[in-house]
Structure 1
Amino acid sequence: MSLLGTSLIVLLAVLAVLFPVATYLLWSRVRGPRPVRAGSRVALLVGGQLTTLVLVAALANDYGDFYTSWSDLFGGGQVNINQATVLHAGGPQVSRSVHRHQPGDPAVHGVRLDVNKADAHDLRVVGDTNFSTRSQWAVRGRVEAVLLSGPQSGLSADGYVYLPPQYFRHRYAHHRFPAVEVLTGYPGSAQGEVSSHQDYPGHALQAVRAHKAGPMVYVFLRSAVVPVRDTECTDIPGGPQAETYLAQDVPTVLQSALRVRPNDWGLMGDSTGGYCTTKILMHHPDTFRAGVSLSGYYHTIHDPTTGNLWAGRKPLKDFNNPEWLAQHEAPPPVSLMVTISKQERTYRDTVRFLHLVRPPMRVTAVILPTGGHNFVTWGAEVPGALAFLSQHLSAGS
């Protein structure tokens, strides 16, 4: 029986009804010694509770495609990125060579976020992580926890900044790096992106060491800037200006505080973060040149977590719809990488978006035969995604 689909849901729903009925009918009919009777009744109660919990989990999984097969659920499934099909849409793919950075550059001691250049109300370092010690900054880089306040949106959010090892070396003391904004899905946790859960800094470090990507500065943020509401990175009429915060405030503040290049930013995110990546990339090609959408979707949604984000205004809804933008607006000169598994619910949505893309916008689609809407699948895709961003930003300059 498939993990997804109605068959499993129906079976679990029937069991969830039968267990309480059986408990009612058998409660007084259980025979045997007192321990046996007590154990049987406990088994009926626990069985009913577990069946209900499994039913709820199955409904959630069927909705979100988190696990698409039993082997995927129990860890036996493997995501082989080499089995992916790669498609191109829009204009020709443009890439840049990746500079092979020397590992032996001397360290610049004492370098950290230069918050003196930024308004103290805009960026505040609130803590360090255990990613590296001071002596390791020029070898592993550094991850710092920050509170970033937006001067235009008036919003504030916790996040993390990863500075690559080159940032701390004398050779790059006056070098400005490309920057990548990494957005979570909903609800998501920025801390999860820098911890062993997803470990983006580790992936970035390995990509540079393997000469598959150049050093870049990363900022990790929740896509839901004002939890618990899922704002879908939207400037809500009369509400939070989430897109302004992510697309304008974050680059402006960090460009004032760090040695990052203006107008040479990348975006990356999974699920809702993938939708946000695509939309912001298409809205702001003057700042963001490339993006990666991991299992994202390409249409506006309205559900209990979002509410009405557009105040009933169809033009505003269309403006936040990547499919509509690709079909009706002038395509921006940006590069986007999208990943999806054929087993995910948004596979057809992705294919439909690819058919709408026109030059000079360029899209590379990495389509896996198997895989779920989960961190295992995305973890296999991240190395290629970082290489893509490096090639399409000025990481090799």
Structure 2
Amino acid sequence: MGLTSDKVLALAVLTAVGLFAGTVWLWPRLARRSVRAVAGRVGLLMGTQLALFASVGLAANQAFGFYAGWADLFGREKGMGVVVDHTPADGPLRVVDTRRVPGSASGDPAVSGRIHKVEIVGRTSRIATPAYVYLPPEYFQPGFRTRTFPASVVLTGYPGTAEALVDKLDYPQTAARLTGRGRMSPMVLVMMRPTVAPPRDTECVDIPDGPQTETFFAEDLPDAVEGHYRVGGRPGGWGIIGDSTGGYCALKLAMHHPAVYGAGAGLSAYYKAPIDATTGDLFHGDENLRDRADLRWCLENLPAPDTSLLVSSSRVGESNYRDTLKFIERVKATKRTRISSIILESGGHNFNTWRREIPATLEWTSERLSTPERAEEPPRS
């Protein structure tokens, strides 16, 4: 049973309840001063506390998606050892699994869409990472067989799991529902985490002598997806959405690469790359690289990018509220970059808050990307 399994959480809760009941039942028998009785009381108290902490920790991990599995929790990331072999005929994207959209009533992809698990290898960055690709029902319908679709990259926070975007934040289900109601155009979603060089948090920076993460997201990822699916088309065909660390990355990539990303949405984002134990030395003394990782510095010192940005925060519960208001004012002052916002009355830095913002974010993104156009080549997938 995995770390995020409901069975593991239920087992931990039942264990805690059972130990509590056992403590209440056995306490009178252990109310003596013998070594055995004292050891029994200590054991029951410690066992109950450990089971309680485990239950709370497992519930929090399920709610926020901190760790994907036991290896991830104990620092032995499963994805670190993946090797992808490519023959000359292979491309930079390979589909390794196919699954139905959670909650879909039909197994027909032309009715409910489809989710592909893929492996992507950057031609320039040489970064290899998994992702999930949501293909809307229209992608499989005869009336759209010669059309390309707008696409959006969707990023988690750090450390985050790509699965949480599907199973916890419900991006494919929400997109399908909004499209069915006519509130957004059919859109392909490329869902992944920004941690493409685990366990290091690269903050989507091209690190000197290290992972070239910005290059991966700005060049390799769109190229790989466009080479396999009928998507994108630049400029104007790609958006990028993220929460927390992924939100910072989304805003930065849209600002640095407006010719690629015509819209960038940062949910609960921050606006400057941190330096801490998870990031290590991102800039190696390169002041230009450090400045470019500060979005407020970019707005004040670089030409305003021709792109659309969306930021979100809460008046109560989010630590980025004041910084977000300042960022909005700085973007407005550029007169060129377009800015929108979602400001909740209250909401913490968590999945529940982001689920309240995702429908409006998808609609906003869809409105700012180019609509499907006729493809120049026959369908590829």
Aligned to 2:22: none
Q: Distance in 1 between matches of 2:227 and 2:372?
A: 22
Shift of 1:194: 1.8
Q: TM-score, normalised by structure 1?
A: 0.72
Q: Say which of 277, 291, 297 aligns to 1:324.
A: 297
Letter in 2 for 1:301: P
Give the counterpart of 1:380 among 356, 373, 377. Answer: 356
1:113-128 equivalent positions in 2, closer than 5 A: 120-128=90-98
Identify the residue that residue 342 of structure 2 maps to in structure 1: 366
Q: In the alignment, which residue of structure 1 is the partner of 2:156?
A: 184
Query: Partner residue of 1:220?
Result: 191
2:41 equivalent to 1:40: yes
RMSD, aligned α-carbons = 2.7
Q: How far did residue 198 of structure 1 move?
A: 1.7
Correspondence for 1:255 among 214, 226, 238: 226
Q: What residue is the counterpart of 1:389 in the other structure?
A: 365
> Where do 1:340-351 residues align within 5 Å?
340-342=313-315, 343-351=317-325
Q: Does the residue aligned with 1:159 lie in a helix, a strand or coil?
A: strand
Q: CA deviation at 1:134?
A: 8.4
Partner Cα distance (2:181, 2:49) in 1: 52
Tell me, in whole angstroms, the C-alpha distance in 2 between the residues paired with 1:375 and 1:318.
30
Residue from 193, 197, 215 that aligns with 1:244: 215
Please say if 1:336 is aligned against 2:312.
Answer: no
- 2:129–2:196: 8 Å Cα contact kept in structure 1? yes
Match of 2:246 in 1: 273
Query: Higher mean Cα deviation, 271-280 or 348-357?
Result: 348-357
- Determine helix, strand or coil for the equivalent of 1:41: helix
Residue matched to 1:5:
none
Gaps of 5+ in 1: 1-28, 67-117
Q: 1:330 to 1:190 in 2, by over 3 A?
A: same
Q: Is the 8 A contact 1:234 1:243 kept in 2?
A: yes
Contact 1:232/1:306 (8 A) holds in 2: yes
Q: Secondary structure at the match of 1:369?
A: strand
What does the per-residue CA deviation read over 1:198-233, in whole Å, with 9 as the maximum and x for residues that have no partner? 221101000101111100111111101111000001
The answer to whether 1:162 aligns with 2:134 is: yes
The secondary structure found in structure 2 opposite 1:261 is coil
> C-alpha displacement at 1:47, in angstroms?
7.4
Matched length: 309
Normalised to the residue count of structure 2, the TM-score between the two structures is 0.75
Which 4+ runs in 1 deviate beyond 2 A? 29-51, 130-135
CA distance in 2, matches of 1:327, 1:149: 35
What CA deviation, in whole Å up to 9, does each residue of 1:312-360 have, x standing for no partner? 2221100111111112111111111111112211222212211211221
Distance 1:296 1:48 in 2: 35
Compared CA separation, residues 382 and 48, structure 1 to 2 (3 A) = closer
Q: Residue 216 of structure 1 contacts residue 395 of structure 1 at CA under 8 Å; is this kept in 2?
A: no
SS in 1 for 2:232: strand
What letter is aligned with 1:41?
V
Q: Which has the higher contact order (CA 8 A, sep 6+)?
A: 1
Gaps of 5+ in 2: 1-29, 65-87, 374-381
